[in-house]
Chain A
């Protein structure tokens, strides 16, 4: 293939950048969920969750 360096570099950069984005979003989400779990384990709950602890068994809440 002529100009293989330019073609494969383009796809390589696109692949690396896309994977970095996916990893960043995924790891960020995991870290935030872990932080929330730690806060809840130490007894700090969201006001909406604390006010109605058994209102909805699925744990769904209605406020932000």
Chain B
């Protein structure tokens, strides 16, 4: 009984018009919470201690790690949506992975740039192709660009969604490669120090600003994702109404 109610509630949410109403209600709260978290996170980022070896460059971590985390989380959200497209053929799932791709590309680019800006003073180089973490994240960036291009190349939205859903799921193999690249290969990039089975090995002085900034970035992503999904639904409504207008004009011409 409870299950069927839960499924019905989820079904209600999956209705684009109800989804639009829900987004209108929650978006201001999400945006405001993200702004507050950013204010606290930025304050902590510049008031906490520097590292005894890395000095102040450790502060780059507070934007680099959340951006890299979002780069992977966004792709995971897209992969889940791709399952929604292929299994349930749900238009909201199509809209979700299409709207997420440019956001994922932006956060991946941010992770690459800030990583490069951190690499130069600490490793002595902006970039190295021999590093598995760097190269696999660059491939993720290219995959995001490919998916954006693919969505733009196919006019029919449901066909574009099905083709990109297959590509997203095939490309998902890159996510565990990115995550475990630092364990599987001997990389210049350091190993995981937060998301570890035996708990974080990072000092709480650095962990606090990092978690607040990660939370702020995550909330920013979901705020932008919901807003971009709403924009995509509006874009489809505009296209549908233009088609309707063209049909009406053709019918009047025929009379």
Contacts and interface: CB of A to CB of B under 8 A. Distances in A.
Interface centre among B102, B118, B120, B238 (most CB of A within 10 A): B238
A10 interface: yes
B114 interface: yes
Given A1-B56, A6-B60, A44-B244, A14 B67 contact: yes
Contacts of A42: 245
Interface of A: 1-4, 6-7, 9-11, 13-14, 17-18, 20-22, 24-26, 28-29, 32-33, 35-36, 39, 42, 44-47, 60-64
Interface of B: 15-18, 21, 55-57, 59-60, 63-64, 67, 91, 102-103, 106, 109-110, 113-114, 117-118, 120-121, 220, 224, 227-228, 230-231, 233-238, 240-242, 244-245, 248
A61 B17 contact: yes
A25 to B, nearest CB: 5
30 contacts: A1-B56, A3-B57, A6-B117, A7-B56, A7-B57, A10-B113, A10-B117, A11-B59, A13-B110, A13-B117, A14-B63, A14-B110, A17-B109, A20-B106, A21-B103, A25-B224, A26-B227, A28-B231, A29-B231, A35-B238, A36-B237, A36-B238, A36-B241, A39-B241, A42-B245, A44-B241, A44-B245, A44-B248, A46-B241, A62-B18
